[in-house]
Amino acid sequence: MNKKSMSVTEMRLLLGIGKTDSYWLVKKGYFETVIIAGKMRVIVDSFEKWYDNQLHYKKVDGTPPGKNWTGITFSIREVAELLCISDSSVYELLKKNVFRTARVGQATRIYKDSFEEWYQSQTYYIKADVHKEVIDL
């Protein structure tokens, strides 16, 4: 039977964080909590929803965070690697507002469809895989 709730201590151990950080997350209201028999419990479904929508905290079991963002967006580093350019060059492109972006916690994410649309409309940058094909010829 799957648990419907977990203790704050269980949540803390799951994320590998300290007591202060775990109660800070609770206080911020990132996920739903209830009091049962005088003890605070974290609702598992709301915790998992929060986990899939954030990128900062990582579970100690290796489950990657941000599932809802990694499928539809790129990180700054991913775009830099994709184009074989530096992170600072990607930030320069961001200043020109060539991509649609989203803030996820502290991170800026670039929507994949926006990136592809921009990429097709320009001729200066070449993707790493295309660059490799040209070199191989």
Over residues 108-126, the mean pLDDT reads 95
> Residue 2 — very low, low, confident or very high, per pLDDT cuts 50/70/90?
confident
Domain co-membership, 52 together with 84:
no
d(Cα 119, Cα 86) in Å, to the nearest integer? 17
- Rounded CA gap, 32 and 56, in Å? 19
Q: Do residues 57 and 114 both lie within one domain?
A: no
**In this prediction, what percent of the chain has a pLDDT beyond 70?**
93
Structural domain ending residue among the three candidates 64, 91, 110: 64
* CB 52 within 8 Å of CB 66: yes
**Tokens at residue 1, please?**
């039977």
Query: Do 10 and 35 fall within a single domain?
Result: yes
Q: What does the block give as tokens for 34?
A: 């209830």
Query: How many domains would you assign to the chain?
Result: 2
- Taking all residues of the chain, what is their mean pLDDT, rounded to a whole number? 92
Q: What is the pTM of this model?
A: 0.73
Quick check: 8 pLDDT over 90? yes
Q: Domain containing 100 — which CATH number?
A: 1.10.10
pLDDT reported for residue 105: 81
Distance CA 41, CA 37 (A): 10
Give yes or no: residues 86 and 29 share one domain: no
Say whether both 51 and 75 belong to one domain: no
Structural domain of 32:
5-64
Q: Are 54 and 31 contained in the same domain?
A: yes
The whole-angstrom distance between residue 24's C-alpha and the CA centroid of its chain comes to: 20
Q: Is the pLDDT of residue 134 over 60?
A: no
**pLDDT of 135 above 70:** no
Q: Is the domain of 132 the same as that of 75? A: yes
Q: Any bridge partners for residue 111, and if so which?
A: 73
Q: Is there a single domain that holds both residue 98 and residue 50? A: no
Whether the pLDDT of residue 129 is over 90: the answer is no
With a cut of 80, say whether residue 32 has pLDDT above it: yes
As a whole number, mean pLDDT of residues 41-46 equals 97
Q: Are residues 100 and 55 in the same domain?
A: no
Helix (H) or strand (E) holding 93: helix 87-95
pLDDT reading at 136 higher than 60: no
How far from chain centre, in Å, is Cα 78?
12
